[in-house]
Amino acid sequence: MPFQEDFSQFLDIGSGFASEALITPAIGDPYKVKGIISNEYSDIDEGMAGVAGSTPYFECAEKDVAGIEYDDFLQVKGIDYRIKGIKPDGSGWMVLILEAQE
Amino acid sequence: MAHARTTIRQAFVDTLKGHTVSGDKVFDSRMYNIDESSLPSIIIFSNNEEILTSTITVPRLQTRTLKITVECYGKATNQVNKLMDDLTVEVEQLLYNSEALKKLCKDCKLESVEMHLNSNGDKPVALASLIFAVLYLTKENNPTMNI
């Protein structure tokens, strides 16, 4: 039987870790999902100087985003993102790689 | 006095500064990275120079071919490659028509353009590297003066 973690403590908005995001799929109705948004600094190594950037991603329970597709939109904390990576880790946890929208 | 190479590189900066979508964000040999508020931007580097001596008697005449790299950086969600193409149009036209460069060198020609797209960050980043070959002459006892 595969190991399944209980993520409810991680996804408790009241304890301050998680936020509520709105996912807008290409087909179907928008839906809300709880997860953790991260946006750490990163160097984008291009040219002789390089560019300062960040790597936004959203972590949540895989079952909450079962129908997620590339290019679906995710809004969290007032910022719009496009989903450009879908990375389930096999334990029921999902990492969505995001691209900020202008 | 500054080396002729410095004068030429500065002429590239002056020609481009304030005349493209990069505005005043044109830098001479900037080595530290660029934040989003400074994009699009341009950095001018001079990385390589070949020197041939054209006379026997000292001080010899030097024919120098300086490679100037114009790096154009952009970051955008939509059509970042189009943003770079538009910026390189401006760069190529401004440098071709630069009277300052015509006075400083015998020839200045675009040799190659390389485009890189990178989607690792929060928004796609594009880099266009334009390499110019700049031909100029000096005497070996005075590299500050273009002949």
ipTM summary value: 0.80
* Long-range contacts from B26-34, C-beta under 8 angstroms, 24+ separation: B30/A49, B31/A48, B31/A49, B32/A49, B33/A43, B33/A44, B33/A49, B33/A50, B33/A51, B33/A52, B34/A49, B34/A50, B34/A51, B34/A52, B34/B73
Question: What is the structure's pLDDT at B121?
Answer: 87
Q: Is residue B104 part of a domain?
A: yes
Question: What is the structure's pLDDT at A3?
Answer: 61
Share of chain A above pLDDT 90, in %: 73
The CATH H-level superfamily of A13-100 is: Protein of unknown function DUF3599 (2.40.10.370)
Ranges of chain B with pLDDT below 50? none
> What's the domain range around B135?
4-139
Q: Is residue B146 part of a domain?
A: no
Question: What is the structure's pLDDT at A4?
Answer: 64
- Closest approach of chain A CAs to the CA of B129, in angstroms? 8
Share of chain A above pLDDT 70, in %: 95
Domain CATH number, residue B40: 3.30.70.1700
Mean pLDDT of chain A: 91
How many structural domains does chain B have? 1
Instruction: Give me the residue spans of the domains in chain A.
Output: 13-100
Instruction: Kindly tell me if the per-residue pLDDT of A26 is higher than 80.
Output: yes
- Closest approach of chain A CAs to the CA of B9, in angstroms? 16
Instruction: Kindly tell me if the per-residue pLDDT of A1 is higher than 60.
Output: no
Q: What beta strand segments (E) does B7-124 contain? A: 26-28, 41-53, 61-75, 107-118
Q: Which residue has the tokens 């931007």?
A: B41
Residue of B nearest to A57 (CA): B122
Burial class (CB in 10 A: 0-12, 13-18, 19+), A26: exposed
The residue that leads in pLDDT, B71 or A5, is B71
Q: Is residue B119 part of a domain?
A: yes
H-helix or E-strand spanning residue A24: strand A19-24
Q: How confident is the model at residue A9 (pLDDT cuts 50, 70, 90)?
A: confident
Instruction: Kindly tell me if the per-residue pLDDT of A2 is higher than 80.
Output: no
Residue of B nearest to A102 (CA): B77
Q: Is residue B133 part of a domain?
A: yes
